[in-house]
Structure 1
Amino acid sequence: MRERIHRHVHGFWPGVHVNDLQWDLGPVKEAIPDFHVCEVERSAPGEPFVYVSAGASSAATQPRVEFFLMAGMPDPLHVEALALVAYFHATWGGVDVGRVLDLGRPWCEGSALQHFLVSVPYPYGPAFEYMDSPDGPVRLLWLLPITQQEAEYAAREGYEGLEDLLEQHEVDFLDPARPSVV
């Protein structure tokens, strides 16, 4: 699966350097022995770094998904976050669109964003979202960093309500210091 995800990422960002990163701390390697992360370097100034998990979809859980996040700066914490989400999905399952995950720490150092909203990859569309594999389709889902207040809002009003609110406020998802929209 790792090679297939790398091909998918390289095909979506041709000519952009992609680093193959590992996370060997914690239990992710027990649940997903071949877990890796593709770090897509900026394709142009102002563009994000993109981190894509490689291995979550090989777990025997449904749905078959991989996860990605975008960041303004490279940071090993992004690799750790993807390892955490992939492990959670592999061991407990159910990480799908609309789920809110508590990271238990800031997304980036000093940030108030400590949760992820699992969403569809609006910035990249269906060509990035769906990937074929011999075992069936794999869906790539976006991890949007959100605040505690936004997580509570999603619990009360539904994740679509939160997505609408984030869109209305034209949130910069790369800004680790962004204020809550709630």
Structure 2
Amino acid sequence: MVLAEELKNYTKSAHAALEGRMIPAIKSIRTGGDYTRLLRLFYGYYAALETKIAPQVCDKLPDFEARRKAQSILSDMAAIDGGSVAATTLCNTLPDITSYPQALGAMYVLEGSTLGGQIISNMIRQRLQEAGGALSFFEGYGEQTAAMWQRFKLLLEDDFSETEKAALLYAANDTFVSFQKWIAAHDAR
């Protein structure tokens, strides 16, 4: 799993910048409305990115539909306050994803977020009792989260050319950067 480690090192700074923006937004949640605003931010990014990823992976990744998370966000919004996405803006400054390696790079960020989501769900639950039934997005795959992450990392063991590997690394980093910019531009606090 050499590429997984390389991805972790290559994206370390961008990952930290996103966390630095995200943690204060999560800690500022006090009401269902605060939580819904945060979910709208995630939906705006995830729905757009998943749509862009899909054509590049649908024939190579049989469980892609199970890995999509935008629907979980919609379910959580409905559970917390009947939230509607009618006025939710979708991100239009996404990483370049025109190949399978680029799609895997972006998915590295989305799939990795399911690990941190376990911690975030606990943070939100402590701040907002009513969120208990509205945490499916942050709870990821529940008890299967670690197994799903391991299965995803196996995809990174493919025999990528140096050009494909560079595209994968860059797309992962750019996904962290563009998500951080999206959060900064639409700060939930």
Q: Which is richer in strand?
A: 1
Q: TM-score, normalised by structure 2?
A: 0.27
